[in-house]
Structures are given as structure tokens and as C-alpha cells.
Structure 1
Amino acid sequence: MSATRNVTVIDPVQPVLTLINVFDVSPSRQQELVDLLVHATETVMKYRPGFIAANIHRSEDGTRVVNYAQWRSRDDFEAMLQDPSAIPHMRAVGEMANAEPMLFEIVHVRSCAPSGSPDASLSPPVQ
């Protein structure tokens, strides 16, 4: 039996709209916010046209949560904002945290070279 992994692809060649939403939250409510965002993603967002991926992160100090999400287009993202099934989740989030949503396009990605590849043996440039 093989496990299925959900992997977000960050690739400047892919025409995606990236939402990075930083939430300021009380440390006592951080986990509640994480749970709400995961629930909204699993029950609503992933079924919306144009949804590609969502990644929920929490800060170690308990004061922030970040949603890194990808949408096929701005139109798809804006349609989700008007979707009656998404609105209650967004309201609930707004009642427990201050949000700073921003939209981006990917312009550059650099990953560590896999072991054994030619780049893996390169040393950093001498300054």
C-alpha cells in the first residue's frame, strides 16, 4: 500500500496566483485558527474551481499563522471570495485574527541540488 503525498509545486513557469495571508492571533487561539483554516481547506476550498494548494504554517511564538495558497487565476480566487460556502469560514477567521492577505506571482525558485547531482558538489563562491 502506497501513501499519497500532497506536494505544493512552486515553479515560476506555472501560471499560478499565490496568496500569502499572514494572520496575527492571540497565542491562546493559534491552534483554533489553524484548525479552522485546515477545516475550511478540506471541506470547502479544495472543491472550488481553480484551487491548487494550501499550506498552513504556524509561528513558533504562537502569534501568527500563515496560509500559503495557490489559485489558477485571480478570477478563480475572487470567485471563491463571493462563494456562499466560503464566506462563513472567512467570517469566523476574521473574528479571531487580523489578516493581511497579499497576492503574488512566482518569479524565482532555487532548491538544494539532490545528492549525487553535479551541483551537489559545488562549494559556495568565495567572497
Structure 2
Amino acid sequence: MVTFVNRFEVSGPVEEFERAFEATSDFFRTQPGFVSHRMLRHLEHSGHYVNVAEWRDVDSFREAVGHPGFEPHARILRALATSTPGLYTPLLEWAAAEPGQLG
């Protein structure tokens, strides 16, 4: 499992960016190896977003972003925002303890 994290700073209309990202999301959901994603909008800074996507493996992710069908989505997003992408691998993960499970 790999995690793709991409921060966006939108310079165009945020509504247009959100529509374009939803279309991009629809594209990725059909790609082999896609697991899930979440788009987060900053509470205090309009136009700042973070996408967190889970992929089965690096190869699946690279095949999806190399797919010819992705290029039109990438072009539209680049016209509306700058981004800082990166692939990550899990290192540490915690979940809240169930009530009564603490020592």
C-alpha cells in the first residue's frame, strides 16, 4: 500500500477547481490498484486543499498517472492550481482506544 499526498493552492475559481477535481477523482476510481481517496479543504485558507489517496502499490499509481486519459485532467488542474505531490509509505498508524481498553 502506498499513499499519494498532494497539496493544492488554487489560483482560479475554487468552484471550478472542485468540479475539475471531482472529474479527476471519477477517472482515478476506475483505475486498477486505486483503493480510496479524501480531498480536504482548509478551514481558514480558501483555495488550499490536500488530497490523500491510497493505492495498492507504486506501479498501479504510476500506471494511472501515465494513462493517456489522465493528461486532460492534469492539464485542467494545472491551469487552476499549483500542487506539491508526493508518494509515501506507511510508517506508523494509531487509532483511538475503545472505552475501557486503557490500563
TM-score between the two structures when normalised by the length of structure 2: 0.88
Q: 1:92 is matched with which residue: 61, 66, 76? A: 76
Which of these two proteins has the greater Rg computed from alpha carbons?
A: 1
Gaps (5+ residues) in structure 2? none
Q: 1:67 is matched with which residue: 51, 58, 76? A: 51
Partners of 2:19 and 2:100 in 1: CA distance: 39
Q: 2:4 is matched with which residue: 4, 19, 29? A: 19
More strand by share: 2
Partners of 1:86 and 1:112 in 2: CA distance: 37
Provide the residue aligned with 1:118 in structure 2. 101
TM-score between the two structures when normalised by the length of structure 1: 0.73
Secondary structure of 1:108's match? coil
Provide the residue aligned with 2:18 in structure 1. 34
Partners of 1:55 and 1:38 in 2: CA distance: 11
Q: Does 1:55 align with 2:38?
A: yes
Counterpart of 1:59, as a letter, is H
Maintained 8 Å contact 1:40/1:89: yes
Per-residue deviation, 1:30: 2.5
Between Structure 1 and Structure 2, how many residues are aligned? 102
Give identity over the alignment, percent: 25
Structure with more relative contact order (C-alpha pairs < 8 Å, separation 6 or more)? 2
Provide Cα deviations, 1:65-111, integer angstroms capped at 9, x if missing partner.
11100111111111111112111111100111001001101111112
Large movers: runs of 4+ above 2 Å: 28-32
Secondary structure of 1:113's match? coil
